[in-house]
C-alpha cells in the first residue's frame, strides 16, 4: 500500500497518455479533476493487485464516449460518484475498491478522483494495459467476467442501469445510451471479487505510468520510453493531414505523416478509432493492435492524443509490445486487427521489427 499525492499526478497523466495509444480522453482535464478531489479529500490509498482481499468487491469507474467531445464537454463533477452509487445499490453490498478500466488519458485520472471523493482504495492495475475503444475489450472479458450490471450517468442528470446477456451486448446498448447522452457518459461496471481482480487485471500499470511520465520529461525522453517499454521507433516526420470525425460515439479517422531525417521520402499513415489501430509505412503494415502505437512530440517527448493531433506537428511514432494476454486466441478475437475490419494477420511488433531490419 502507498499514498498517491497530488504531486504525482503530472507524471502519471503523461505516462498514462503514453500507454493510452492516442485514446482514453484528454489527460489534462482528468488531472485537474483528480487534483481537485485530492486537495479536498487528501491523498489516495493505492494497493497492489495482490493486496486485494478475497472478500473485496471492486468495480471499474470510467468515462465512455468520443475523446473529441470530451475536450469541450467537461464532466459536471459528481456523475462518476452517482454511477458508483447506482451500481452499488444494484449489487446490494458496499463496493470496497476502485479499479481503473484502462490506463489511458482521462480514464487513468477519473478513478483517482473517484477514489479520493469516495475515500476508497485504488487498485494499481487495469483491464487493458493501454486503452481500447469498446467496453468488452478488457482482460476481465477474457476471463469470463460480466460487464453488467452497469450504471451510466451524464452531465444533465440522466442515468441508466443495464443488464446484458454478454459483454458485446453491453458495448452495443451502452454505446447507444452514450450517444443519446451527448457522446459521453460516466460509467461503473465490471464488479469483481478479490480473486477475480487478482486473476484478470494487468498489475502495476499506475506505477508504470508514473515512471513513464518521469522518463518522458528527461532530455532523452523518447529513448527512455522506448527502453522502458521494450519498444521500437517506427517513424519520425511532420503531420501532413488529419481526417477525424465523431461517428457512433467514437472518434474515427486517420493521420498522414511525411517523413523527416532518416524517414524522408516515406509516408506513415495511422488509422484510429479513439486509439491508434494500425500503422502503414508507404504500403507496408509496420504495427497493429493489440500492440501499442504511440505518437510523441519529437521535441518534448510528450504524448499526443488522437483528438489533439494537428497539421504541422513534428512527431515520433513508436510501437511497444502489449500484454501477453492480448496475444492469445481469445485476446486477438477481442482486439486483433481483424476485429476492427483490417484484413491483416496480427504479427507481434518484435517480429515485424526484426523482419524490417532483415530487409534493410
- Tens of pLDDT, residues 31-62: 888 999 999 999 999 999 999 999 999 999 99
Q: Are residues 185 and 278 in the same domain?
A: no
Torsion of CA 349, 351, 354, 355, to 10 degrees: -110
Q: How far apart are CA 139 and CA 126, in angstroms?
A: 9
Q: How far apart are CA 291 and CA 280, in angstroms?
A: 14
Q: Are residues 257 and 191 in the same domain?
A: no
Q: Specify the CATH number for the domain of residue 156.
A: 3.40.1610.10
Q: Are residues 49 and 83 in the same domain?
A: yes
Q: Are residues 111 and 18 in the same domain?
A: yes
Q: Domain span at residue 343?
A: 220-359
Check if the beta carbon of residue 301 is closer than 8 Å to that of residue 214. Answer: no
Q: Is residue 48 part of a domain?
A: yes
Q: E-assigned strands of 201-341?
A: 202-203, 232-247, 250-259, 267-273, 275-281, 284-288, 292-297, 314-320
Q: End of a domain among 148, 172, 206? A: 206
Q: Are residues 127 and 16 in the same domain?
A: yes
Q: Are residues 267 and 333 in the same domain?
A: yes
Q: Are residues 38 and 124 in the same domain?
A: yes
Residue 24 DSSP code = S
Q: Are residues 190 and 225 in the same domain?
A: no
Element (H, E) at 59: strand 57-65
Predicted local distance difference test score (pLDDT) of residue 104: 84
For the chain, residues with pLDDT lower than 50 are 358-360
Q: Is residue 214 part of a domain?
A: no
Q: End of a domain among 206, 237, 268? A: 206
Overall pTM > 0.75: yes
Check if the beta carbon of residue 249 is closer than 8 Å to that of residue 70. Answer: no
Q: Are residues 198 and 234 in the same domain?
A: no
Q: Are residues 178 and 312 in the same domain?
A: no
Q: Is residue 7 part of a domain?
A: yes
Q: Is residue 142 part of a domain?
A: yes
Predicted local distance difference test score (pLDDT) of residue 356: 64
Q: Is residue 213 part of a domain?
A: no
Give the count of domains, the chain: 2
Q: End of a domain among 206, 232, 255? A: 206
Q: Are residues 186 and 243 in the same domain?
A: no
Closest alpha carbon to 216 in 10, 8, 15, 20: 15
Q: Specify the CATH number for the domain of residue 296.
A: 2.40.390.10
DSSP string, 80-99: HHHHHHHHHHHHTS---EEE
Amino acid at each position: 500500500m502507498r499514498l498517491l499525492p497530488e504531486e504525482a499526478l503530472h507524471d502519471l497523466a503523461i505516462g498514462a497518455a503514453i500507454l493510452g495509444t492516442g485514446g482514453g480522453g484528454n489527460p489534462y482535464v482528468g488531472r485537474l479533476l483528480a487534483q481537485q478531489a485530492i486537495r479536498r479529500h487528501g491523498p489516495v490509498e493505492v494497493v497492489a493487485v495482490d493486496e486485494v482481499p478475497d472478500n473485496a468487491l471492486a468495480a471499474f469507474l470510467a468515462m465512455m464516449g468520443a475523446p473529441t467531445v470530451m475536450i469541450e464537454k467537461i464532466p459536471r463533477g459528481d456523475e462518476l460518484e452517482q454511477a458508483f452509487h447506482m451500481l452499488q445499490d444494484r449489487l446490494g453490498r458496499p463496493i470496497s475498491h476502485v479499479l481503473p478500466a484502462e490506463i489511458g488519458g482521462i480514464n487513468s485520472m477519473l478513478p483517482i478522483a473517484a477514489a479520493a471523493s469516495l475515500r476508497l482504495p485504488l487498485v494499481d492495475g487495469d483491464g487493458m494495459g493501454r486503452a481500447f475503444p469498446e467496453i468488452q475489450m478488457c482482460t476481465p472479458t477474457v476471463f469470463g467476467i460480466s460487464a453488467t450490471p452497469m450504471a451510466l450517468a451524464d452531465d444533465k442528470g440522466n442515468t441508466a442501469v443495464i443488464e446484458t446477456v454478454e459483454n458485446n451486448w453491453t458495448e452495443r446498448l451502452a454505446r447507444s445510451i452514450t450517444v443519446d447522452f451527448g457522446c459521453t457518459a460516466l460509467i461503473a461496471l465490471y464488479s469483481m471479487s478479490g480473486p477475480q481482480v487478482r486473476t484478470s487485471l494487468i498489475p502495476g500499470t499506475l506505477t508504470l505510468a508514473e515512471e513513464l511520465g518521469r522518463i518522458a520529461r528527461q532530455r532523452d525522453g523518447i529513448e527512455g520510453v522506448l527502453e522502458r517499454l521494450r519498444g521500437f521507433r517506427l517513424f519520425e516526420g511532420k503531420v501532413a493531414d488529419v481526417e477525424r470525425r465523431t461517428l457512433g460515439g467514437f472518434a474515427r479517422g486517420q493521420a498522414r505523416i511525411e517523413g523527416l531525417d532518416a524517414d524522408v521520402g516515406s509516408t506513415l499513415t495511422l488509422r484510429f478509432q479513439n486509439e491508434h489501430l494500425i500503422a502503414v509505412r508507404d504500403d507496408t503494415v509496420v504495427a497493429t493492435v493489440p500492440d501499442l502505437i504511440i505518437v510523441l512530440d519529437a521535441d518534448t517527448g510528450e504524448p499526443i492524443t488522437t483528438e489533439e493531433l494537428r497539421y504541422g506537428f513534428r512527431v515520433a511514432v513508436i510501437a511497444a509490445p502489449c500484454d501477453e494476454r492480448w496475444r492469445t486466441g481469445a485476446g486477438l478475437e477481442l482486439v486483433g486487427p481483424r476485429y476492427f475490419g483490417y484484413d491483416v494477420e496480427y504479427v507481434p511488433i518484435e517480429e515485424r521489427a526484426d523482419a524490417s531490419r532483415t530487409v534493410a
